[in-house]
Amino acid sequence: MTAPGERDDSGAVLAPRRTTALMGVLTCLAALSPLAMAADQAPPGVPALLVVADGVPQPLAPGDGDVARGRALIVARESANCVLCHAMPDPAVRFSGDVGPSLAGIGARMTVAQLRLRVADYARVNPASVMPSYYRISGLDRVADRYAGKPVLSAPEVEDVVAYLATLQ
């Protein structure tokens, strides 16, 4: 067992193994709770997100996403509008935001499964974030009438955006 205050080679304080194991068990129990399972259920016609660890390993739509369509969605002001908050490593994008992290290198830092979860429902990663959940349709606040009861991005569109982000090495 790790002693309280014990440090690793870098000098970082290590958590006692019992605490780490207990947190793992509690995380698993929370994931199995009825509330967590209900959040994963989707209405008819909208495939549910199967979240594993910090990603969605299975594509939401059949086939591979289209990189060109994904880029178009990211820079379009009327759909995903990612450039409102994120800087793009693309000289053709003249104006982009800096509220969220830059998308430069995102494909090298995250797996496709991680990217898919962040595009589909970033609130599962960071509930305090202002980033919209592009695929979730329940439990949202202040939803525009045209998006009520349907996702901002369809399953194939999520896959297109993920395909483009994965190219940003």
44-167 in CATH: which number?
Answer: 1.10.760.10
Q: CA 41 to CA 36: how far, in whole Å?
A: 9
Closest of 35, 30, 47 to residue 159, by C-alpha: 47
How many residues in total does the chain contain? Answer: 169
Per-residue confidence (pLDDT) for residue 29, from 0 to 100: 37
Per-residue confidence (pLDDT) for residue 121, from 0 to 100: 95
Residues 30-41 pLDDT 10s: 443 333 333 445
72: part of which helix (H) or strand (E)? helix 67-75
pTM over 0.85: no
Per-residue confidence (pLDDT) for residue 36, from 0 to 100: 38
Task: Give domain limits for the chain.
Answer: 1-32, 44-167
Closest of 151, 29, 169, 127 to residue 79, by C-alpha: 151
Burial state string for 96-128 with b = 16 or more CB within 10 A and e = fewer than 16: beeebeebeebbeebebbbbbbbbbbbbbeeee
Per-residue confidence (pLDDT) for residue 27, from 0 to 100: 41
Tell me the DSSP string of 5-36.
T-B-TTSPBPPPHHHHHHHHHHHHHHHTSHHH
Cβ distance 160 to 73 under 8 Å? yes
Average pLDDT value over all residues in the chain? 80
Residues with pLDDT less than 50, the chain: 18-40
